[in-house]
Amino acid sequence: MQWHGLKLPVIFLAFVCGLALAFGGQWAYQEYNFQKPLNKVLAENKLVEDFKVEENSTKSVVKVKLSKDTVNLMDAYQEINQLTGQVMGKTPYQLEFVSETDPSLDQAFYESHHVIYQSQVAGNFPEVALKVQEAARKQGAEGKVFVDQNNIYIQITKPDGHYLHQVIPRQIPGEVVFWQGGANVAKRN
């Protein structure tokens, strides 16, 4: 069959081969440049119990379950984030920690979350640490708070093996306007 002197089966076959090559190339690029090296780095890390990489339209989401004997959530995050960043290069990704939580740990976090999120702006980190420790103690757990220049790390653990890990960015996304006495004092983007 021909159309204006062109053979339609040849055009269709070329189109299908082009699509297969494009999608196959994309898969191979992802698999060999990111997936396998990332799997190797995370599988060999003693802090990591399990992990999963999910792809969405804008970035890769690396979900990590830490070993139960993780002592310092901040150190674990920094180490895993550095290793992941080395593999991912300039490709955008998000690192998330998976918790083995229960209702009492969720309640401890809920009781302290207002102070935690307020500290993003106010910087009242000693108050956050006291509130998290108090809320955790009420639930029979131990609460720890770590802070670095980028994140607030909340680590609540129970003797029965349940734990909650939350990493909260210190910078609030978007534009934040601080008001003082009705006057616009500062903007942060």
CA distance 165 to 131: 16
Q: Identify whether 177 is part of a domain.
A: no
The pLDDT tens digits for 54-79 are: 877 788 888 999 988 888 999 999 99
Residue 179 falls within a domain, yes or no? no
Angle between helices 103-122 and 125-138 (to 10 degrees): 170
| 92 domain residue, yes or no | yes
Q: Are residues 159 and 128 in the same domain?
A: yes
3-state secondary structure of 47: coil
Q: Is residue 150 located within the same domain as residue 93?
A: no
| Residue 90 Cα to chain centre, angstroms | 16
Q: Could you tell me which residues are beta bridge partners of residue 133?
A: none
Six-digit token pair at 155? 């680590």
Question: CA-CA distance, 71 to 97, in Å (whole number)?
Answer: 14
- Residue 1 domain flag: no
Q: How far is CA 160 from CA 136, 156, 157, in A?
A: 14, 12, 8
- pTM of the entire predicted model: 0.72
Considering the domain architecture, whether residues 73 and 112 belong to the same structural domain is answered as no
The one-digit pLDDT tens for each residue of the chain (189 residues) are 555 666 777 777 777 777 666 665 555 555 555 577 788 888 888 888 888 888 777 888 889 999 888 889 999 999 999 988 888 888 888 899 999 999 999 999 999 999 998 888 888 899 999 999 999 999 999 999 999 989 999 999 999 989 999 999 987 655 454 444 444 344 443
Cβ atoms of 166 and 76 closer than 8 Å: no
Q: Give yes or no: residues 93 and 18 share one domain.
A: yes
Q: Are residues 20 and 83 in the same domain?
A: yes
Range(s) of the domain holding residue 163: 100-170
One domain, residues 11 and 92: yes
According to DSSP, residue 28 is labeled H
Residue 15 in domain: yes
- Shared domain check, 94 and 30: yes
CA dist list (Å): 161 to 27, 51, 166: 38, 19, 16
- What is the number of domains present in the chain? 2
Could you tell me the two tokens for 123? 């910087």
Say what the pLDDT of residue 177 is. Answer: 47
